Amino acid sequence: MADEIIRDERAEPESGAEKGAMPTITQDADSDPAIIEKAETESLQDMGRWRRMGIIFVLNTVTMISAFDATSICVILPAMARQLNASFSISLSMGSAVLLTSAISQPIFAELAHVIGRRPAYLAALVFFMTGSIVSGFSNSSVMLLAGRAIQGVGSGGPQALSGLVMADLYSARKRSGSMAYQQMSWALGTITGPLVGGAIVQSKDSAWRWIFRASLPFLVLSFIGAWALMGYDKHQRNCRDIKQIDWIGVFLYMISSVSLILPLTWGGSRFPWKSPAIIVPFVVSFFAFIALGVYEKKVERPMFRRGLFRKWSTICHLTMSALHGLLMWMVLYYLAVYFMGVKSQTPLMTGVWALPATISVAPMAALVGLVTQKTGKYQGFLIGGWSLLVAIFGVLTILDKDSSTATILVLAMFMGIAMGLIFPVMTIGVQATCNEEDAGHGISLILVLRTMGQCLGIAIGMSIFSTQLAKELKKVGLGNVQVSNAMQLMRASMEDGGIDHTFMNMAVAAALKKLWMAGSIMAGVGLILCLFARCPKLPRDSEPHEKGISGPVSDPRDAVAGRVWGWLKSRPEPEC
């Protein structure tokens, strides 16, 4: 009888395969990532509170350093361009390079974390981060600096992706809202101090910008030690040969499609005309690579992007909104700095000071949203209010010119930060609430990937719009012979009254930025439309049984604003003839 039971159990996977079930990987159970992940999740229940807090502290420290590194470059670009003799497009590439490589590396590190463990993957990412900081901190050419920034991006992408997985390991869905609030505060602290410290450093000496990258090394070393000591909770025996199970073809297609999309957006209008083969060919390659990636990910057994995250319209809406949010945030961050320096003729230090209302207001709002959501489980109002405010603020930014008062600029910057903070954590919460529980960690990681890719697109698309419009505006003011690729040098010369009419240059930059703000308002409108159709189910309490089950919170069509409107229309009585 026992032999028959054993034979039946062994035959079960074979019959499942005949019915079209997912094929079973014939390997030792100790090396199966799914079994490993389940065993480790169960063992986390015995982890002490102080150790959890220590892990979160390490994650937040690296998050702060990443934000500091990404935002400080906004105000030190003119100093770097002056010393390295870099063009406008090359200067902005210093920012987009780190974001592009970060977006590419995040899903790779997320996959590695399931194969070699959270701690080894996190430590490897920190090694890349430290190496990139060293190369950038001692670079003496634009090529060397670009290489260092690209390595930094690989290193900063790993912690961003792994922080989502680690938080999904440590906390339930509702408690994650509170822990993410503290992480958003760490990110905001980095964004606040980045422009201020960067502006203060280059204010004294142009070559001092290298200390921006060197200053992060002690914090990264301490974070490395902390991660090594605290994050070894996944000690289940692993087989490193399982690294071949990573979706390497998907990784390759994702890299090709992303790079081919960003490069022409960065070059168009500044280095090459939009109709040139150097712009058209990468766009075509990107288009077909994205199609190939989508087709391949549907068929592969272990896709890099979990299929469960793309089965619900609401989850897709939240993912798309996260990319739009990153795009608009970095567009504002970079091009408000262009406005401060190119139109208002502010120094790097004062540019950092003027950016304070925008950066300092993000943290309180993001923390407030996270804590209120943890308390009530509701977050839809923050989403609608934030996107509505973004549409309005981008529209009002079009009134800014050389004569705009300081009070007007600072108030608009403050409300922009409030709007960004309102929706900053909400898309992450929405993805967790609309996807299955087993996909929650991957959903958080994908949110970070898309937000980072959106940030990269914000710089690239912003540069495309700004460069194209600036060329037109320069012709209108009689400076048509000036090359847009030299815009960084032009703005510096305008500030110093060195050979270019100061007023005409400021007028051209202000007019070009108005078109950029109009485009931002339209993109924010797309986000507002998406949030009306996205379901935002209330997060369950930890005591509710489905919290730890396979399915996530129960979603109802009425959880979306559009669903409630449609239900109201259907419930109205028929008009009498």
Cα dihedral sign, 340-344-348-351? negative
The matching CATH number, chosen from 2.60.40.1930, 3.40.50.20, 1.20.1250.20, 3.90.230.10, for 27-246+304-568 is 1.20.1250.20
* Close Cβ partners of 522 (under 8 Å, ≥ 6 residues apart): none
* Close Cβ partners of 16 (under 8 Å, ≥ 6 residues apart): 24
Cα dihedral sign, 81-86-89-91? negative
Distance of CA 62 to the CA centre of its chain: 15
pLDDT at 390: 95
8 Å CB contact between 553 and 546: yes
pLDDT at 550: 38
For residue 555, CA distances in Å to 309, 432, 563 come to 15, 12, 12
Long-range contacts, 168-171 (Cβ 8 Å, 24+): 168/440, 168/441, 168/444, 169/40, 169/41, 169/44, 169/118, 169/233, 169/441, 170/44, 170/47, 170/52, 170/55, 170/56
Can you tell me the distance from the alpha carbon of 124 to that of 522, in angstroms, rounded to the nearest whole number? Answer: 40
Task: Go through 290-305 and write b for each residue having 16 or more CB atoms within 10 A of its CB, e for each that does not.
Answer: bebbeebbeeeeebbb
Can you tell me the distance from the alpha carbon of 358 to that of 323, in angstroms, rounded to the nearest whole number? Answer: 19
Can you tell me the distance from the alpha carbon of 52 to that of 180, in angstroms, rounded to the nearest whole number? Answer: 14
8 Å CB contact between 260 and 90: no
User: Left (φ > 0), alpha (ψ -120 to 50) or beta: where does 333 sit?
Assistant: alpha
Can you tell me the distance from the alpha carbon of 125 to that of 117, in angstroms, rounded to the nearest whole number? Answer: 13
By CB atoms closer than 10 A (0-12, 13-18, 19+), residue 515 is middle
For residue 151, CA distances in Å to 102, 264, 337, 458 come to 9, 21, 25, 20
* Neighbour count for residue 476 (Cβ, 10 Å): 12
CA nearest to 528, candidates 391, 418, 416, 434: 391
Where do the domains of the chain lie? 27-246+304-568, 247-303
Residue 569, token pair as written in the block = 């229309």
Q: What angle do CA 79, 80, 86 make, to 5 degrees?
A: 120
Q: Which residue has the tokens 């990319």?
A: 323
User: Left (φ > 0), alpha (ψ -120 to 50) or beta: where does 405 sit?
Assistant: beta
DSSP 21: P
DSSP 538: P
Query: Quick one: which H or E segment has residue 33?
Result: helix 33-43
* Neighbour count for residue 322 (Cβ, 10 Å): 27
Output phi, psi for 540, to 5 deg. Answer: -75, 160
Digits of tens for pLDDT over the chain (577 positions)? 444 433 343 343 433 433 333 333 334 444 454 555 555 554 555 667 788 888 889 998 998 998 888 888 878 877 787 788 776 667 777 777 888 888 888 888 888 887 788 888 899 999 999 999 999 989 888 889 889 989 998 998 888 888 877 877 777 666 666 677 677 778 878 888 888 888 888 877 767 888 889 988 999 999 999 999 888 776 655 666 667 777 888 888 988 998 898 888 877 766 777 788 888 999 999 999 999 998 998 888 778 788 878 888 888 999 999 999 999 998 998 889 889 888 888 888 888 888 888 888 887 888 888 888 878 888 888 999 999 999 999 999 999 988 889 899 999 999 999 999 899 888 888 888 887 777 777 787 788 888 888 988 898 888 888 888 888 887 887 766 666 656 555 555 555 554 555 677 778 888 999 999 999 999 999 999 999 888 888 777 654 444 433 344 444 555 555 555 556 555 555 444 3
Can you tell me the distance from the alpha carbon of 118 to that of 111, in angstroms, rounded to the nearest whole number? Answer: 10
pLDDT at 239: 62
